[in-house]
Amino acid sequence: MKLKQTLENKFSSSLEKIKGSPIREFDTYASQFEGLIKLTLGEPDFDTAQIIKDAANKALENNRTHYALNAGVLELRQAVADSMKEKYNVDYGADEVIVTVGASAAIEHTISALTNPGDTILVVTPYFTLYDGCSYLNGCNVGYIDTLESGFKLTPELFEEHYAKYDNVKALIINYPNNPSGVSYSREELEELAAILKKYDIFVLSDEIYADISYNFKHTSLTELLPEQTILITGLSKSHAMTGWRVGFVLGPKLAIQKIAVYHMFTVSGIPTFIQDASLIALTHPNSVAYTNKMIKVYTERRNYLIPELKSLGFEIDAIDGAFYAFARIPEKYRKKGTMEFCKFLAREARVGVIPGNAFGSIYKEYIRISFAASMEDLQESIRRIKEII
């Protein structure tokens, strides 16, 4: 079907600000190679736990097929609040939680609810694409805070330096454990950050969707240290291998949640009821908790395998605190090529697919992201293949 020609230039001008994704460019290129091992995906290679699937089936049989409340099934929101109390000793009520279509919608609704066109959102890089994409769609400016020189971590100094550079800063977006760097923050580091952020009238969107997949230290949530400014983004996609179920959560002070709920109401009006019932089981049933722990054990084994192997091949890589990605600096002799050419080289010559670092910030042109949400066999075979060509 062809669009009426005179309508071709009538779309939202904010769409023009969305840049072409290096991931898509690379994906199109890599798809032509047969036998490619894909270490590109940001999703668990595990299937969802049986107990959660059973709960969804049971909910369907019980005709849990009608509209749920806009903000979500009350028992689920209460379970989310309870799990926050248990993990971080923070007090949220069920009315301070919204169940969203994945963490993605939580990010979008939050940015929509907080901003006016012309506001600036500070985004800590390396970053997940939605942060600037949703900001641009809402007519905001984006100030990127690059962390190449600070071990991929935001410091109080970096924050203040960037805050001073922009007008109308409305919010800061931070993600830890970080996709793609795997970096997380100690409690002390977060305390230092919180002490500075408290001085400014800005919201802090803290995307902690990988919190449960932490290896090096117990995750500290910003909600513990900066509760009055923090909007927490989380969900079940990563921790519970539930990417396709599309379950996310947004938590924050009641007034902020009421505002975000308006955007949720006028776009989604509640996620499927039977999926929320299954999500309740995901959060509360001991078998589900055990399944998550089992996945974390497997990710730990893969991480422990991958880091020394990559180092022995000439990649530079630091500790991985959480999530399931290795963000590695490419071996010196390939740095001039840049990350896109290097990724194409790996795909073409080794049949191994990884993501170019500049997909997560233009400065990361000497880095690649390797997902270890892939089987140990695939990881071992990938290392063997890369060894052969570099």
Contact residues for ligand PLP, defined by CB under 6 A:
42, 102-104, 128, 175, 179, 207, 209, 235, 237, 243, 248
Nearest to 381 by CA among 55, 40, 35, 52: 35
DSSP code, position 313: T
Q: Name residues whose C-beta falls within 8 Å of residue 223's C-beta, 6 or more positions apart in sequence.
A: 84, 88, 90, 92, 206, 230, 232, 251
> 328: helix, coil or strand?
strand
Q: Residue 1 is inside which H or E element, if any?
A: none
CA 13, 205, 47 angle in degrees (round to 5)? Answer: 95
Backbone angles phi, psi at 181, to 5 degrees: -75, -20
> Residue 177, preceding bond cis, omega within 30 degrees?
yes
**CA–CA distances in Å: residue 154 to residues 27, 185, 194, 232, 329:** 30, 9, 11, 17, 19
**Percent helix, strand and coil across the chain, each rounded to 5?**
50, 15, 40
Q: What does 128-152 look like in DSSP terms, one character per residue? A: -THHHHHHHHTT-EEEEE--GGGTT
Instruction: Pick the closer one to ligand PLP by CB: 102 or 270.
Output: 102
Q: How far is the CB of 8 from ligand PLP (least distance, A)?
A: 31
Distance CA 291, CA 195 (A): 37
145 and 196 Cβ atoms separated by less than 8 Å: no
266 and 212 Cβ atoms separated by less than 8 Å: no
Q: How far is the CB of 60 from ligand PLP (least distance, A)?
A: 22
DSSP code, position 347: I
Residues linked to residue 97 through DSSP beta bridges, in sequence order: 251
Q: What does 9-71 look like in DSSP terms, one character per residue? A: T-S-GGGGGSPPPHHHHHHHHHTTSTT-EE----S-SSPPPHHHHHHHHHHHHTT--SPPPTT
